[in-house]
Every structure is written in C-alpha cells, then in structure tokens.
Structure 1
Amino acid sequence: MKKVITSVLFLVIAHQLLAQESPEPRDHHAMTFDNARKRIVMFGGNGSGESKYFSDLWELDNTSWRKVNESEMTERSSHAIVFIPNINKNLLIGGISKSGEYLIDMGFWDGKSWTPVAEGPSPRYSPAIAYDEFRETLVLFSGAGRGEDEMWEWKDGVWTQISLNQENRPLARTRSQMVYDYVRKTVILFGGYAEGKSVDDMWEWNGKEWTRLQVNVPPARNNHLMVSDKHRKHVVLFGGKNRQEGILFGDTWEWNGEAWSRLSKSGPEARDMTSGAFDENGRRIVLFGGRNEDRKKLGDLWSWDGRRWSQLK
C-alpha cells in the first residue's frame, strides 16, 4: 500500500513539475528567434487578471520550454524584443509597467545575463520594430507615449532619430507590425491603431524614405501577428482585431513581396495580442498565447509550416 501511495505522489509531483515548465497564459508578450543560440526567446506580458504583469524570460527549443530566469528587467507588457545579428544579442525595448508607466529602460540579453542600455528613444509601448538585414540596421517606428510620432534607427551601437518631415509617410500609430521583407530587401509596415481606428495601410521603408504600397491588403486590424519566413522569403500575418467593427480575426495571410493571399481557414482560434517568431531550426513560424473572443488569456503553442497550422504539445 505504501508503495502505491508513494508512486501516486511521485506521479502527482512529476506532473506538477512538468506543468510548471511552460509559460502561464498571457498576452502582450514579445518573442524573437535568437540565431546565435538557435532558440526562440520570450519575455514578459500580461497574465490572467489585468494586474498580473510578467518579468519572466523563457526559451523554446523545438517544443520544449525552459524558464531561464525571473529577470531583473522591469515587469512589462506591450514591449518588443528583437535579435540583432551583428552583435548576437536580443534587445528588449519599451513597454508599459504594472503601474501604467511608459518604460524607457532597455537591455541586451546574450543568453546568460542582461546588460542595461543607457540611452535610446523616449518611453513608449507597442512600437513597430524590425531589423533591416540588408542595411544591418534596427528600425523603430511610433508607438504610444511621448515618442508616438518619432522614428529611430540603431546601428553600430548608436541610436539616431530619423526626421519625419516627409509629407507622404505613415500616420503615428500603435499596435502595428513591422518586419523585414526578404524579397524587397526593405522593411514593411502594416496596420495598427491610428487616429482612433484600426487601419489597413501598408508602407515600405528603404532607409531613406517611406513609400505607400498600393496593393490589395487584408482587412484593417491592430494587435495582429506578422512574421517573416526566412526560408520561404514570405511574410505571414495572423489574427488581430478591428476595433471599430469589433471583429476578432483568426485568418492567415501571406505576402510574397508583390501581393497578399489569404491562406488557411483553420488553425488557432481567433485572437489578438499574440506573439511569435520564425524558428530557423524547424523552418516554421511559431505562435504562442494571445487573447480570445471571451477576453481569455491563452497559453497554446502553434506552428505554421507554409501550408497548415499544427498545435504543438
């Protein structure tokens, strides 16, 4: 009898330990692929209950999560994290704290520890950010906060504010997405929340000027996911919300450098405030979490291989 009880207790404890080795459901988190260490990195976000903010750092290797640390970086949501290839570090920037403060603190994660970054753009949350691989430059646009109508670039360790006196340029916005386009070798911006509504405009930044791309686009939305598939050289868009119409999307779109195409109608449930990254190990896009129609925080993990979505266990 004692052996049976011991075995049951062991299984219960083992189950609890395994359950702990995955992130809690959340939204407004940020993910990127650390190409130096070949794994996805995820930081922060909002948990169940609007007052629960995370400062945890997780790594995803294939389908296995590992909690790296409870970071010394401020707990936050609506931030960004991006891998910078020429220094092999991940930059965490922006966000909003539990107290509602727009955050200015930044840090580099090298796989072992955080290094604070002393100077940079003004405090903001939900900025659009992407690394331009052709120009080897990090590009940051807009966001909510004091710098909502600002644009910055980071190169060789130096932040430079970019003049926005160009007449034809994107409106200041938040909850947008910006990625590197491997076909066009430029950075592209789509959607977001501007002037009190979700928008559907699409722009290209070549390092000198903005150009609006006059193409058929997905419906207007904000808080969507947009990731570049480095292997197939396409951009994949999923989900988001149209604020003025109250529509939560669960659709998948692909941009090939010239046109958008709507793809799979099945996959993750409709959501916004999700995050994801391109996993170069598996040549797939990985999505985690978000918020569904019932405003429930999600903790599911999915992958997109260019043809279909698959839920990862």
Structure 2
Amino acid sequence: MKKRKHVISLKDLSPQETLDIINRGIEYSEGNVVQGEQLKGKVIGIYFKKTSTRTRTAFTTAALRLGAQVIAYGPNDLQVNTGETMDDTLAVLSRMLDGLVLRTAESPAILRAFANQERMSIVNAMTEDEHPTQALADLTTIKQHFGKLSGLEIVYLGEGNNTTTALALGIAKFPNMKISFFTPQNYNIDPMLLNYAKEEAAKRNTVIEEFHDLSNLPKRADIVYTTRWQTTGTTKPDANWRELFEPFTVTQELMHQFPNAIFMHDLPAHRGDEVEASVIDGVKSIVFDQAENKAHSAKAVLEWCMR
C-alpha cells in the first residue's frame, strides 16, 4: 500500500511541494484540468468540529469534482462524544477512508496523532494555531493575480491568528517577498512560530516583520490583507478589546496610502469592524476570487495527498 501524504502544517512542506500545490491550484482555477478521474474510487471524510462555510464547502466540492465520494461528520456524530478513545476512532476511520479533512479548535498535535498511520491522508482544515489550507489558497490567488510571488509586499492589519501564522509560514518558503504584520498589543502572532518563519524567510531574502504601531507602515504594498477580529473558536480576554482593534481597521484612507494595492480577506467579513464596506466591496477587492480559489486549492491539496 502506498504511504499517504498529509497537510498538517506548512512547516512540513518543502518550498517545491508548496509551489507544486499552488501551481496546480492555478491550473484548476483556470480550467486547464479535466476533472473527475483524479480521486475516482476514493472516499473522503469531512469532519468539522467548528463552523465553516468556505473551507468545508471547498473540500467537499473538490472531492466530489475529482471523482471521490464524501462522508460528512458533524461535531456530535462520532463516538468520541460517548467515550470512545481517539485512537480507536482513528483505527476504524483509517481502515475505511482514504482521507480525512479535519477542523478543530485544538492543537495541531491531535492531527499529528491522526497522521500516525499509513492508510489515510490527513488535511488540517484549521486548528487553534494554524490554517494551512487558507494560506495555500491565498498564495494561489496572489500568484494567479500577479503572475509571480517574488518581489511582492503585503501589509496585514488585525489579530495575530491561525491565518496569519499560516501566511508567515507560507511566505517564508519563497524568495524576495515581504510581509508586515500590524497587530494590536497582546494580540500578536505566536512568537515561536513567527521566529521560525523569520528564520526560514531570511534564508531566501524574504522579510517577515510584526509591529503594533501603525506609524511603521511601509511606503508601498501590493496587497492589503485582514481577517475578522473574532476568529472562529476564540474569545478576547479584554473587555475593551474593540478599542484596541479599531486603529487596525482597513479604511479607504489607508488604502489610499497604497494606490496600487489589492485587498484580500479570508472571510467571513464583518463590515464596519475590520474593514469598511467601501473597501471590501470596492474595485480593489478580490475577496470572492480568493474564496473561490479555496475550492481549486482544495483540489490541488487532495490530489497531492492521495495520488
């Protein structure tokens, strides 16, 4: 039996593997692939313990369009809720499924336990620390839009969350890029993961920085990116957190500082919080192309894992 591959963290993928998935996602997005045979005969489990619109739909439709069959599990569907051990659950699922796409608010360590077998591919559809398939879809969208990754500069405003971690880890794999994260004090990116990304980036002349003061905004940007302030599965420890976040709203005034920049958002969006409606609904916004590419990137991820 051929050993399965997994996408648990972008730390696990080589730069070439990451680029292969991105390029394949672009091929799917541009309609250059005949679909239907890639995963024919495979059965994919979709297990989401937390809410999802785009990621769950993306992986479900991706599996179906590539010829697989799908079993969907909700947060209360498996016997782990009645006391069965995760090891026993895993032993059963790995003998019946070819792949399992999993969203949980827990540590990625549980996914690594899931991946400690050779029968079933595991795809991280978001954990507490990282959202790798979001970053893969984002990089697919960016490369498709600009025709390149090298030389691009990104400004991110908002919370340091699992999307920002994944962006840092993904961008660190490519040369001559720059991303500047602007996060509220005490809502920063995980320092260990950020430092790891910085070290990897430095090997490729890529710059990853984090600031808490908007006076450090760069003079140029190709992309302005934000995420919603209330990340799925998290709460804010400060009662006045909105006051801390308000300066990091993406406004038309901020976008005017970067006249050539496009706007990206991983959605769902809360207009009037992290972004003004005129920005996300404006001509510079590519958020729905970005959302659509989650499905095309999901095809590339599933194909890479299981072929």
TM-score normalised to structure 2 length: 0.30
Higher helix content, 1 or 2 = 2
Higher strand content, 1 or 2 = 1
